[in-house]
Structure 1
Amino acid sequence: MIKWILVAAGLATCTDNRAVSTTNASPSTDLRTDSTARQPAQAQRVVVGAAQLPRYLPLLRGKRVGLVVNQTSRLGNTYLVDTLKALHVNLTAIFAPEHGFRGEATDGATIANGRDARTGVPVRSVYGATKKPTPEMLADVDVLVFDIQDVGTRFYTFISTLHYVMEAAAEQGKTVVVLDRPNPNGAVVDG
C-alpha cells in the first residue's frame, strides 16, 4: 500500500492562556464568541511540519529513511538531517535538489552524487542527469521525507522535485512524508 502523508504547518494564537486554531479561518475571523475575541493576540506562532516530531517520528522508527532536503530544512539552528541522526533515525540517503543538499551550488548547476561529510550519509542527486529517483536510488529506502521551503512561484524547481519523488515512490511502493512549510508570500502564488 502506498502512503503519502502531509504533516501540515499549523498556526495557533494564544490569548488569555487559551489556544485558538486559526488554520482554517481567514485572518480577520476569530473563532471565539465571547468578549475576549476583541482583544489583540498576545502571541502568534507558526509550527512548521518538521517541528512536529511526535507526529511523524513514529513513522520513521525501524525504517530506512531517505531525506529530500536542502539548506532550508532546519529546526531552529539545526539541520533536519542532524536532528534525525541525533534521534537515531536510520538515514540511508539524502536526495539533493537544485542548489544541492547544503545549498552551495548555483542556479541550474548539475548536482553530483556524493557523501555528506558531516553525517556520512550518501547524497544522491535529483537535479542533474536524473530528476526522478530511480529504483536503484530507492532500493535502500522505505520512507522518503520531503522538507524543503519553497519560494511561492510555480516555475521554481522544488515543487517539480516533489512531483518526481512522489511519482517514483508510488511506482516503488514507498511511503512519502511531506513536512509542510508555509508559503513565504502568504496566500499569493506567482504563476
Structure 2
Amino acid sequence: MNFIPTKLSGCYILEPKIIQDSRGYFMESFNEKTFREGTGQDVRFVQDNQSFSARGVLRGLHYQTGDHAQAKLVRVLQGEVLDVAVDIRPESETYGQYVAELLSAENQKQLFIPRGFAHGFLVLSETATFFYKCDNFYNKESEGGIIYNDESLAINWQMESAALLISDKDKELPSFDKARKVW
C-alpha cells in the first residue's frame, strides 16, 4: 500500500498494490498494521457504511461533532466519484481548505479522512457504490454539515449545479462560517 500525504495534515490518499493475472486481481484493501505505519495514526474502525447512488448525486458535506467526531476511510466499489474532504479543525493551519480526489473501482484509491473534517462526494459515473469505514459510531444529535456550494470554500465539483441531485436536508445545510463547530 502506498500512502500519499495530501496538503491537509493527517489526510492521506491510499493506493493499493494490485496483483493481476488472467483470472482477475487481488488486493489488500485494509491492514491495521500497514495503515498505522503508513499514516502514523492508530485508528480503530468500528462501523462500515455503504451507499449506492446515480450520476449527479452529491452527498455532503457531513461530519460528526464533539465526542462523536469520526475518521473515515472511503473507497468506491463500483463507478467513479469526486471525493472531497474539508479541514474544519479550528486550530489547523489548513482550516477551511479542501482536497478533492477521484476515486473509482478502476483506480482502487482510498482516502483517509481524520476526525475534524467535513466530507462529501459527487457521483460522476452512471451509478456508484461507495463504501467507508468509520472509527466512531454515528450519533444523530452530533450531526454537522456545510452547504456544498459555500462560496468561501469554492469547491470545484466538476459538474454544473443544475445537474446535481441533492437531498432537501443537504440543500439546507449552513454556510461554512455558520456551521456547527466540530469541537
Q: TM range, normalised to the smaller chain?
A: under 0.3
Structure with greater strand percent: 2
Q: TM-score, normalised by structure 2?
A: 0.26
Task: Tell me: higher relative CO, structure 1 or 2? Use CA pairs within 8 A at least 6 residues apart.
Answer: 2
Structure with greater helix percent: 1
Q: TM-score, normalised by structure 1?
A: 0.25
